[in-house]
Amino acid sequence: MTQSATFTPRYIVVSPVKDEELYIERTIQSMLQQTVRPVQWLIVDDGSSDQTPAIIAKYTRDHDWIKSIRINRDAVRDRKSTRLNSSHITI
């Protein structure tokens, strides 16, 4: 007896970005067109000084599975390191 089961993978994507205004929208559009989307997509902005944060914000408002955090580079210098933890990711 064979059993046919449909398996849908569950995965999370973490993308580091910095000053990607020329490419981030195309990247987001590509992710939106995927057949199997991630459970969550965390975009980590490493202190962009261009329009990257505004472009990301436009999509995070419309897609609750896309999350974004922005790393303040001055704060990182004070702490010497930045860590992501489970509070940044929800499944």
- For the chain, 91 residues long, give each residue's pLDDT as a single digit of tens: 556 678 888 999 999 999 999 999 999 999 999 999 999 999 999 999 999 999 999 999 999 999 999 998 665 555 555 566 666 665 5
Q: How far is Cα 6 from Cα 18, in angstroms, rounded to an integer?
A: 38
Determine the 3-state secondary structure of 43 from DSSP: strand
At 8 the pLDDT is: 83
Q: Give the pLDDT score at 46.
A: 94
What pLDDT shows up at residue 85? 63
List, in sequence order, every beta strand (DSSP E) within 12-77: 12-17, 40-45, 66-70
Q: Cα separations (Å) of 41 from 13, 66, 67, 75, 80?
A: 5, 5, 6, 24, 26
Say what the pLDDT of residue 88 is.
60
Task: Write the Ramachandran bin of 82: left for phi over 0, alpha for psi from -120 to 50, otherwise beta.
Answer: beta
